[in-house]
Structure 1
Amino acid sequence: MSVCRNIVFGWALALLAIALFTRLGLWQLQRMQQKQAMLAAVAGVLQARQPQPLAVAADPQRRAGYDWSAGRGHFLAAPAVLLDNQSREERAGVRAYRVFQPAVGTPLLVELGWLPLPGDRRLPAVPRPAGEWQLAGLLTPPPAAGLGGGAALARADGALLTLALDPPTLRRALDLPALAPRVLKLDPAQALDAGPGYVRDLDILPNTLPPERHLGYAVQWFALAAAVLVTALVLSLRRHGARARRAGMR
């Protein structure tokens, strides 16, 4: 009886592990499909490049979508926002944002570009571009939040340092009546006559796993599930063979 209980207990653990590994593998496949859909949507927008007014950044029906957008306006005298932990080519850096007020519509965050951090992690200055500007770029949801959450820490120069772009949190920190839920990633060809040498891109998955990495992790989880199943079967067959041999010796 004790042998049977051990076999049942072993299979229970094995099935639990198989279910867990399979669930993790399916989750990785789901993330892969989500990111593939995001990349396909952006590719279509960039191919068409039919500019929408900047006012669509505040459209709640489009808060999870992508649009090529263009319009005139000016940068507000609100503090700059620096998104931390943004590596590029194995260099630590930040993504710099400024609040832009379109001629028509709600204020929105505009990504000026990526800036490297020196060894002492001294944050770069992000001067406000003066005057009126005609901007163009890709409207996207804010970058995915990391484990640190969206709290904004005010620096000595007034800039806000954050690990995530959470529009409601930033609206309060910037003391704005409203802030659009999407951000504008500037066209890399956009020229600004103020500030340091920003590195710009239209990458919607910076500092996150690409779809192929999720596929690789899914394969690993499914392989672990298969390995547990094979191991459980081998052990069960060995125990069954041992019991049969002992029964034959009686």
Structure 2
Amino acid sequence: MRPALLLGWVFALLLACLFGALGAWQYGRGVAKTAFLEAWDSALEAPPETLLPWRRAEVVERPQPVTGRIDALDGGRWLLLDNARRGSEVGLRAYFIASVGDDRGLLVDAGWLPFDRARGLPDMPPLPRQEPADGLLVPWPGQGIALGESGFAAAGQPTLLLRLERERLAADAGVDLVDGLLRLAPRDGAAFARDLDALPNTLPAEKHFGYALQWWGLAFATLVVATVLTLRRRPR
């Protein structure tokens, strides 16, 4: 085989392997999200456990229905996650840290609210006291690629966040944060819009499977093109 042809095939095989690996990664993401959705649906139908007193030391790995009441951490603040979607709208998702005893805290998703950047951060209500804790304990959400670092406002003041970085939130609050968060269920009279959608701001499993097929199709097409070019170069 001529050196140029050999080099072309090495490049084609490397490219096909890359496309195949990306397809396998997307397929794995789809499988994981399918399993997560099944666990989520099961949690919505399961009887809730009492949230407090807190006895869970483990990482929250799957949705768990809970009930009870919680208090915001003394000296805490509202944590407002920027660029949070609710349907077609983009706004803020409001979080606070609840005290769960023994210098431990639990991040609580209190719901979504609109955000007009021209007017600055919205006026926030007092932090919840004896808030109904009906909802789901869920794993800590993935944060994607860090494109900037969140800064904290003065103590007790609402803070706009770009990411939910558990270590930084724990250091700001002065507590050990549980590796998971509480999504509060919809309730009449709640300060913010709530839902228990399983995958807010993320792609559904079907999208990942579709992307996997596209990457595998590119891998197959690369090999087909390399084969056709090889056959055309054969001496007659």
TM-score, scaled relative to structure 2:
0.88
In the TM superposition, 1:230-245 aligns within 5 A as 230-240=224-234, 243-244=235-236
Which residue among 1, 22, 25 is the counterpart of 2:23? 25
- 1:177 maps to 175
Which residue among 101, 105, 108 is the counterpart of 1:107? 105
Number of residue equivalences: 234
Which residue among 106, 125, 128 is the counterpart of 2:126? 128
Write the distance in 2 (CA, Å) between the matches of 1:234 and 1:146. Answer: 40
Moved more, 154-163 or 49-58: 49-58
Per-residue CA deviations over 1:29-80 (Å, capped at 9, x if unaligned) read 00001111111111111111332424558522x4222211112232234011
Write the distance in 2 (CA, Å) between the matches of 1:227 and 1:145. Answer: 33
Moved more, 11-20 or 121-130: 121-130
**Deviation, structure 1 residue 148:** 2.3
Structure 2 residue matching 1:87: 3-state secondary structure: strand
Structure 2 residue matching 1:182: 3-state secondary structure: strand
Q: Aligned AA for 2:224?
A: V
Structure 1 88/122 Cα, relative in aligned 2: closer, same or farther at 3 Å? Answer: same
Write the distance in 1 (CA, Å) between the matches of 2:104 and 2:188. Answer: 21
Which residue among 68, 71, 84 is the counterpart of 1:71? 68
Given that 1:71 and 1:102 are in contact with CA atoms closer than 8 Å, whether structure 2 keeps it comes out as no
Given that 1:152 and 1:170 are in contact with CA atoms closer than 8 Å, whether structure 2 keeps it comes out as no
Which residue among 186, 198, 209 is the counterpart of 1:204? 198
- 2:82 maps to 84
**Deviation, structure 1 residue 20:** 0.4
Given that 1:57 and 1:181 are in contact with CA atoms closer than 8 Å, whether structure 2 keeps it comes out as no
Structure 1 57/40 Cα, relative in aligned 2: closer, same or farther at 3 Å? Answer: farther
**Deviation, structure 1 residue 144:** 1.3
Per-residue CA deviations over 1:141-194 (Å, capped at 9, x if unaligned) read 2221132279442236722222222222101112x23222211110113644xx
Write the distance in 1 (CA, Å) between the matches of 2:83 and 2:177. Answer: 23
Write the distance in 2 (CA, Å) between the matches of 1:99 and 1:209. Answer: 27
Q: Aligned AA for 2:32?
A: Q
TM-score, scaled relative to structure 1:
0.84
Moved more, 21-30 or 99-108: 99-108
Write the distance in 2 (CA, Å) between the matches of 1:21 and 1:223. Answer: 8
Structure 1 unmatched runs, 5+: 245-250
Write the distance in 2 (CA, Å) between the matches of 1:236 and 1:108. Answer: 61
Structure 1 152/128 Cα, relative in aligned 2: closer, same or farther at 3 Å? Answer: farther
Greater Rg over alpha carbons, structure: 1
Structure 2 residue matching 1:36: 3-state secondary structure: helix
**Structure 1 or 2: larger helix share?**
1
Given that 2:105 and 2:175 are in contact with CA atoms closer than 8 Å, whether structure 1 keeps it comes out as no
Given that 1:74 and 1:132 are in contact with CA atoms closer than 8 Å, whether structure 2 keeps it comes out as yes
Given that 2:61 and 2:138 are in contact with CA atoms closer than 8 Å, whether structure 1 keeps it comes out as yes
